[in-house]
Amino acid sequence: MPKVRTWQLATGAAALGLVVSAGAVAAAGPWDTGQRKAERQWAAAQAPTGGAHHEPPARERTPAAPSAPPVLAALGTTGPRTADAPARPPAGLAATLGPLLGDSALGPAPTASVIDLATGERLWAKGPATPMTPASTIKIATAVAALSALGPDHRIPTTVAAPPEGDRVTLVGGGDATLDRARLATLADRTAAALRERGTEAVRLTHDTSLYAGPLLHPIGPNGNLAPVSALMVDQGRNDPRTTGDATRTKDPAGETARVFADLLSERGLRVTGTPAPGRAPEGAVPLAQVLSAPLSAVVERMLTSSDNDIAESLARQTAVATGREADFAGAGKAVTDRLRRLGLPLEGARFADGSGLDRRDRVSAGLLTALLARAADPDRPELRPVLTGLPVAGFTGTLGTRYDETSPGSGLVRAKTGTLSGVDSLAGTVATPDGRLIGFAFLANGTGSAAEARPALDRLAAALAG
């Protein structure tokens, strides 16, 4: 029997019949002026997603992302304005946004792009083609690339493989940055049951991370906002699984995952001999047990809402794997570029040095960000809709949860991805206007002196669009 390659084990989940219909929402998007009420209802009822299943193929029947149905239901039946409907820029838009963009808190030369998402018409801009360091707003590009390459129904597997005979089992990482101890325990349950059926009571455990290539460490070096990028990790490599955001991470996510898995197998009555060690699945190995991530639609939403760097880097590498590129930082950047070029997006000056935006060598323009949002709103590309539904909601969720108060006209109406590095602040997303227009916007500021001053300045720009 020929040797089973890691990618074959990692992608075997695609053949499993685990998807069922969750209902279709045609060309769904938060289009009308009921969005404020809808967002409030959704925010109040929001619960962790991940149990939803979807029915492929995406182009024929793609449901909205998991958090979207309650939002869309509250919006009623109003659809997007047609391309031939009047799309005149709101009166006074330039007079309103110009002075706000000129706020000294936004540095010497901030850029902006504002478009009508139903028609693609540019409503206002300043330096829209100028490449800028985007910080975490680059995650919008990562999300679009991953969804276009893999589809919203794709699930990332973590597999235990073993040859037909012998006592060696291999924990094979498929690149799931959302794997937690609960799902790892489920994998241990399934593995123990399969081994008992074979009459195996003792095993030697290895762990295989060969799906990914290149260095584990991000170019910025060790950082509490990102674990070493490995194809196998549990709880995002956090030393304390209860932590979120910036936290102490293990230097060896795969090794730690294998150690936890060995303990779980022992708790289930199996004897694990020796210390878990790195090693590819042996020749003739076949999947013995497997667990899957939530659908990619839910993973993308989680990544965007919470600005999760570990998931972002995982999605960039998943894009590389899906498109035949080397699954390292450089290969992931090329894969993202390839996918966006296929979508006809304006990539002049763009650079994707990573998937998360932590690398200051990243470059995107405000025009590219709004073009990405327009693709996600395109009724002909429903597979990209999670990019819109995953954006944080001003005053309610994710990284915008505390940035707008009840008095702001943008509260509940602005949905946007935030971006912050030292001296870099950005905001890109959508806003529903009183006349039923869905506007896409991007504001990029480099050379800012204080995030505490730059963020409110960006928020005022987005809130002005809501008026």
Of 435, 436, 427, nearest to 463 by C-alpha is: 427
Residue 411 is among the residues annotated as catalytic for this protein? no
Q: In the numeric block, which tokens belong to residue 85?
A: 């409907």
Fill in the amino acid letter for 105: A
168: β partners: 204
Residue 136 is among the residues annotated as catalytic for this protein? yes
Given the residues 67, 113, 126, 139, select the one marked as catalytic. Answer: 139
Given the residues 67, 307, 365, 408, select the one marked as catalytic. Answer: 307
For residue 364, what are the CA distances in angstroms to 135, 306, 318, 325, 389? 10, 21, 21, 21, 22
Angle at 142 between CA 136 and CA 146, to 5 degrees: 155
Residue 67 is among the residues annotated as catalytic for this protein? no
Residue with tokens 């030292």: 422
393: β partners: 415
Helices 309-322 and 296-306, packing angle to 10 deg: 140
Given the residues 67, 136, 314, 408, select the one marked as catalytic. Answer: 136
Question: Which is it for strands 271-278 and 424-432: parallel, antiparallel or unpaired?
Answer: unpaired
Edge-to-edge, what's the strand order for the sheet holding 271-278?
271-278, 202-208, 168-172, 157-162, 286-292
CA pair distance 118, 286, nearest whole angstrom: 48
* Sign of the torsion formed by the C-alpha atoms of 33, 34, 36 and 42: negative
Residue with tokens 């219909």: 21
Residues acting as catalytic residues: 136, 139, 307
